[in-house]
Amino acid sequence: MLKQVVLAMLVAGSIAEAQDRSQSRSMVVSQTGVVASESVLASQVGARILEQGGNAIDAAIATNAMMGLVAPMNDGIGGDLFAIVYEAKTGKLYGLNASGWAPKGLSADYLIAKGMTTMPMKDIHTVTVPGAVDGWDKLLKRFGRMGFREVLAPAITYADSGFPVGEVVSAYWRDSEAALRADGPTAKTFLPNGRLPLAGEVFRNPELAWSYRQLAQFGRSAFYKGDIARKILATSASHGGTMDGPDLFEFQSEWVDPISTTYHGWTVYELPPNGQGIAALEMLNIMENFPLGTMGQNSVKALHVMIEAKKLAYADMQRYDADPRFTTVPVNGLKSKAFGKGRAQLISLERANCTVAAGAPSVTDNGTTYLSVVDSEGNMVSLIQSNYSTVGFGSGIAVGGAGFVLHNRGGGFTLDKTSPNVLAGRKRPLHTIIPAFMEKGDVRIAFGIMGGWNQAQAHAQFVSNVVDFGLNPQGALDAPRFSKETFGGCDVNFESRISESTRAALAAQGHSIVMRGDYSSTRMGAGQAVMRDYSTKVNSGASDPRKDGAAVSALRKP
């Protein structure tokens, strides 16, 4: 019975809904694999890897490599990576934290001595060791069927021959022009002929093709010990950075166990700190204390509860979340149902709270792209990878001759020595990027929504859209969203598709609403999702209309 109910809710819909609906497009439904990413071209590359005999892990990395080419401001091998893998043959979930650490010589004291009072956001000292390549290596070696040579081949071809720049990507490129012109090697790579590439114009990146060839020939060692490493260190030194050889070649990403909570019968998984996934779980636990399903989607009552739940969960995340190798993070306390219920009791249904303090959980335990893939065997990947700041291409510093920029993930640290997230050598910063996964019965969904501090709150909204309001993954991605970018105050971003009467009622409750466009990728992020019914072996994929991407199905093997 569960299978029929879930399929009716997520896939079928009524004839009337199909003819008169609010979602932007149908899901891609297939008996073969499906790849969902922010670029049609990247999704096609991943689907082709599946057709060539690769599995979901191989396809995810090939897709990610293409994203580093076609959306270089969002992601690339100069950034970090997190992934959740569902392995069909064992029925187990695996988590990978491939976020890099700060150079050993970098600390709060070091920057304070230079006269800094807050952590910079655009500076060589925001550059932590990029973890993406080590993440690719660990994923391929543990789960893949292919190696770097096979999965990077399509991206190498396109980097050499070029690709037409996407519409949304071109807008991000334009917004970053000043940062790109500020650094010679960066301008050389990303402002060909001294100007911005326009939407539809063919862009080539032979330097990135060289880097990918190095990886194809020498593997991860090319990046952390070889010629790419030497270019990274030379670039860092030229800007006065502290990164040295051991910072690179001693780095290893980490296998972690996903953490979870339940939400009205569904189990929702995130990765543990140093990411913000714990905030999504706490937010869901708070929301579960209210009958959102009877309040109505995007109603005054439902939106008010979710916005207030966000404030509470994020206050706790900001207070406690950090690298668990350096501090005790009360993960079990933060994601407990009892703690969520207690925090929910602080929500007034009549008024917005503009000053939210962190709670005291029980201490009982020690710019970005998102893509998801499911293959015909049922392996699933939820993968997110980022340069951090989309505008400005991460740190705004390209590695000379290598075709990619270095991220500014160190901007997630603080110089406040009382914070568990204070900058220290070989420490990982509080991270925004988070992959997610949810399951009930025979149905599993790998999903994620990028966009800085938007992500945990967007995950909770996606889950609510599926569970409380019966939307399929495409409808859940399409639905209007809110996003509160700040931690304090009552300001909140709304997409303009939320009705004027609803906005007026929420403003009367004390919410300070900032209006955005109908589909605001900058403020609300953009996501992808793949779903599989393991009883029928049917796969589905969804792609957010806020970006250039698509879900693409692999062709059946001949």
Give the amino acid at 466.
Answer: V
CB 523 within 8 A of CB 451: yes
pLDDT for 556 beyond 70: yes
- Polymer length of the chain: 558
With a pLDDT cut of 90, the percent of the chain lying above it is: 91
Distances, alpha carbon 233 to alpha carbons 135, 400, 410, 428, in Å: 20, 10, 17, 19
Residue 54 in any domain: the answer is: yes
Residue from 510, 475, 459, 209 nearest 351 by CA: 510
Mean of the pLDDT values across residues 118-129? 95
Residue 25 in any domain: the answer is: yes
Mean of the per-residue pLDDT values of the chain: 94
pLDDT for 366 beyond 50: no
Q: How confident is the model at residue 377 (pLDDT cuts 50, 70, 90)?
A: very high
How many whole angstroms separate alpha carbon 148 and alpha carbon 344?
Answer: 48
Residue 465 in any domain: the answer is: no
pLDDT for 342 beyond 60: yes
Lowest mean pLDDT: which of 1-15, 51-65, 544-558? 1-15
- Predicted TM-score (pTM) of the model is 0.95
Mean of the pLDDT values across residues 132-145? 98
Alpha helices in 275-392, H assignment, sequence order? 277-287, 292-295, 300-320, 331-334, 337-344
Instruction: Report the DSSP beta bridge partners of residue 92.
Output: 87
With a pLDDT cut of 70, the percent of the chain lying above it is: 95
pLDDT for 408 beyond 90: yes
Burial of 43 (0-12, 13-18, 19+ CB in 10 A): buried
Mean of the pLDDT values across residues 11-38? 77
Residue 290 in any domain: the answer is: no
pLDDT at 365: 38
Sheet strands (E) in 393-496: 397-398, 405-406, 436-440, 443-449, 482-483, 491-495
CB 314 within 8 A of CB 453: yes
Q: Helix, strand, or coil here: 8?
A: helix
Q: Containing H/E element for 26?
A: none
Half-sphere exposure of 316 (CA within 13 A, CB side): 32
**How many structural domains does the chain have?**
1
Domain that holds residue 57: 1-276+367-451+526-558
pLDDT at 311: 97
pLDDT for 5 beyond 50: no
Contacts of 258 (CB under 8 A, 6+ apart): 84, 93, 94, 95, 269, 270, 271, 272, 437
pLDDT tens digits, one per residue of 227-240: 999 999 999 999 99
Phi, psi (degrees; rounded to nearest 5) at 163: -150, 155
Residue from 341, 388, 544 nearest 74 by CA: 388
Catalytic residue among 126, 235, 261, 368: 368
Residue 362 in any domain: the answer is: no
Mean of the pLDDT values across residues 494-501? 96
Residue 340 in any domain: the answer is: no
pLDDT at 522: 80
Active site residue 368: yes
pLDDT for 322 beyond 60: yes
Mean of the pLDDT values across residues 453-464? 97
Residue 425 in any domain: the answer is: yes
pLDDT for 14 beyond 50: no
pLDDT at 557: 66
How many whole angstroms separate alpha carbon 31 and alpha carbon 285?
Answer: 34
pLDDT at 3: 53
How many whole angstroms separate alpha carbon 299 and alpha carbon 509?
Answer: 13
pLDDT at 523: 86
Residue 351 in any domain: the answer is: no
Q: How confident is the model at residue 181 (pLDDT cuts 50, 70, 90)?
A: very high
